[in-house]
Amino acid sequence: MSRGPCCKPVACRKRDSELLLRLDNEAQLNNLAVWRQDILLSWSTTAAFADQIPASADCVASCVVDHFSFNILLNNKSMLRIGIDLGGTKIELLALDGQGNELLRRRRPTPQGEYQATVAVIGEMVEAAESELAQRGSVGVGIPGSESTVGQRIKNANSTCLNGRNLRLDLEQRLQRSIRLANDANCMALSEAVDGAGQGAEVVFGVILGTGVGGGIVVRQRVLTGINRIAGEWGHNPLPRGDEEILPPARCYCGRHGCVESWLSGPGLSGDHWRHNGETLPATVIAERAAAGDASCDQSLRRYERRLAKALAGVINILDPQVIVLAGGLSNIARLYQTVPRYWADEVFSDVVHTRLRQSAHGDSSGVRGAAWLWNEDSGTKE
Ligand SMILES: [Zn+2]
Residue-wise DSSP of 216-273 = EEEETTEEE--TTS-TT--TTSBPPPPTT--SPPPBPTTS-BSBHHHHHSHHHHHHHH
> 119, 344 in Cβ contact below 8 A?
no
Residue ranges, the chain, pLDDT below 50: 1-77, 378-383
Measure 327 CA to ligand 1 centroid, in angstroms.
Answer: 20
The full 3-state SS of 81-93, as one line of letters, equals EEEEEECCCEEEE
Q: What is the pLDDT of residue 241?
A: 81
Measure 234 CA to ligand 1 centroid, in angstroms.
Answer: 10
Q: Which strand (E) or helix (H) includes residue 129?
A: helix 115-133
Measure 157 CA to ligand 1 centroid, in angstroms.
Answer: 14
The C-alpha atoms of residue 297 and residue 289 are separated, in whole angstroms, by 6
Q: What angle do CA 346, 350, 356 make, to 5 degrees?
A: 80
Measure 266 CA to ligand 1 centroid, in angstroms.
Answer: 14
Q: What is the pLDDT of residue 78?
A: 54
Q: What is the pLDDT of residue 27?
A: 35
Measure 174 CA to ligand 1 centroid, in angstroms.
Answer: 35
Q: What is the pLDDT of residue 55?
A: 36
The C-alpha atoms of residue 22 and residue 29 are separated, in whole angstroms, by 11
Measure 63 CA to ligand 1 centroid, in angstroms.
Answer: 56
If one counts every other C-beta atom within 10 angstroms of the C-beta of residue 151, the result is: 9
Q: Could you tell me the domains of the chain?
A: 9-75 (no CATH), 79-177 (3.30.420.40), 190-366 (3.30.420.40)
Measure 237 CA to ligand 1 centroid, in angstroms.
Answer: 7
Q: Which residues contact 111 (CB under 8 A, 6 or more apart)?
A: 117, 118, 121
Measure 258 CA to ligand 1 centroid, in angstroms.
Answer: 7
Q: What is the pLDDT of residue 377?
A: 56
Q: Which residues contact 148 (CB under 8 A, 6 or more apart)?
A: 154, 155, 229
Count the residues in the chain: 383
Measure 263 CA to ligand 1 centroid, in angstroms.
Answer: 10
Measure 150 CA to ligand 1 centroid, in angstroms.
Answer: 22
Measure 248 CA to ligand 1 centroid, in angstroms.
Answer: 15
Measure 182 CA to ligand 1 centroid, in angstroms.
Answer: 21
Measure 314 CA to ligand 1 centroid, in angstroms.
Answer: 17
Measure 238 CA to ligand 1 centroid, in angstroms.
Answer: 8
Name the β-bridge partners of 326.
Answer: 207, 359
Q: What is the pLDDT of residue 224?
A: 94
Q: What is the pTM of this model?
A: 0.78
Measure 256 CA to ligand 1 centroid, in angstroms.
Answer: 5
Measure 217 CA to ligand 1 centroid, in angstroms.
Answer: 20
The C-alpha atoms of residue 335 and residue 309 are separated, in whole angstroms, by 13
- CA 28 vs CA 34, 246, 251: distances in Å: 12, 73, 62
Nearest to 208 by CA among 9, 362, 83, 1: 362
